[in-house]
Amino acid sequence: MDTEVHEIFTSFQGEGGTVSGSCAGCRQVFVRLRGCDVRCDWCDTAHLLGPSGQPALVEATPGSRRREIENPMTPTQVVDAVLALRTPSFHSVSFTGGEPLLHVPFLKKVFTILKKKKLPVFLETNGNDPKAAKKVAKLVDVASVDIKDRTAGAHGDKDWKELVAREVASAVTFKKEGCATYAKLVVTGRTREQDVGYVAGLLAETDVPLAIQPVTPLGDALPPSLRLLLSFADAACERLPVEAVSLSVQGHRQAGFP
């Protein structure tokens, strides 16, 4: 039940653009968990993909120097840490990673306590495991579900469309359980317009909007040109309503925040 936490801190949600459910610009307490079940070529948290045995780094007050808390942390310890960071501008608690859905028993316990305390839960997931999504969906307020572009390489040597199908199934699960849900597609300079159209076509059958996010440059992964990005937006809007498609940027990164 206890889980290795990487960090708990305060910042603003940078992603999501203007689509329904987006919390872009909202102040959140972030709980970052370790571990992931896929491997994206441009992962910006590659240091979190396995257990570390290191203590969690936890803010005592918003923006303060983080102190070390022994891992694994209990659900109650995590909730207490979140409560210590709640201020008038608090919007929600963002669970991120790594991949939070690798920790379902822990999440169920934490989400249940947060729900009783009326603190909204925002969950960021790679969507790879619809069964895990189903186990927590009733306790989630907002779900940001990744759809991995082919150029992320997250499908490994398997069929990319099978991974996308699982991700869309996860998004549908959250939506059906009443979560505000949106899909996030990180695109690169090598992303194919027809792949964006393919993803948008699947989402069009689900009423889940799409945030298209240029990759933050890492290694060989470079963001698309404006011209390419415009073609992606057009490909998406041929299948989805205009208000269901938005550009998303990692605003916190640009502002120099965690």
- Cα distance between residue 29 and residue 13, in whole Å: 9
Q: By CB neighbour count within 10 A (0-12 exposed, 13-18 middle, 19+ buried), where does 156 fall? A: exposed
Output 6 or 175, the one with its CB closest to ligand SF4: 6
Output 59 or 99, the one with its CB closest to ligand SF4: 99
Output 40 or 119, the one with its CB closest to ligand SF4: 40
The CB-of-132 to ligand SF4 minimum distance in angstroms stands at 13
Q: Sign (positive/negative) of CA torsion 162, 127, 256, 26?
A: positive
The closest of 91, 77, 102, 99 to 8, measured between CA atoms, is 77
Is residue 23 a contact partner of residue 92, using CB atoms and an 8 Å limit?
yes
- Cα distance between residue 6 and residue 191, in whole Å: 31
The CB-of-251 to ligand SF4 minimum distance in angstroms stands at 18
The CB-of-258 to ligand SF4 minimum distance in angstroms stands at 15
- Cα distance between residue 184 and residue 76, in whole Å: 31
- Cα distance between residue 87 and residue 68, in whole Å: 22
Output 42 or 106, the one with its CB closest to ligand SF4: 42
The CB-of-146 to ligand SF4 minimum distance in angstroms stands at 6
The CB-of-246 to ligand SF4 minimum distance in angstroms stands at 20
**Gap between the terminal Cα atoms of the chain:** 27
Is residue 197 a contact partner of residue 239, using CB atoms and an 8 Å limit?
yes
Is residue 187 a contact partner of residue 214, using CB atoms and an 8 Å limit?
yes
Output 38 or 208, the one with its CB closest to ligand SF4: 38
Q: Which residue reads 């940027």 in tokens? A: 249
Output 77 or 96, the one with its CB closest to ligand SF4: 96
The CB-of-43 to ligand SF4 minimum distance in angstroms stands at 3
The CB-of-77 to ligand SF4 minimum distance in angstroms stands at 23
Output 39 or 176, the one with its CB closest to ligand SF4: 39
Q: Which residues bind ligand SF4 (CB under 6 A)?
A: 36, 38-40, 43, 45, 97-99, 126, 154
- Cα distance between residue 233 and residue 103, in whole Å: 34
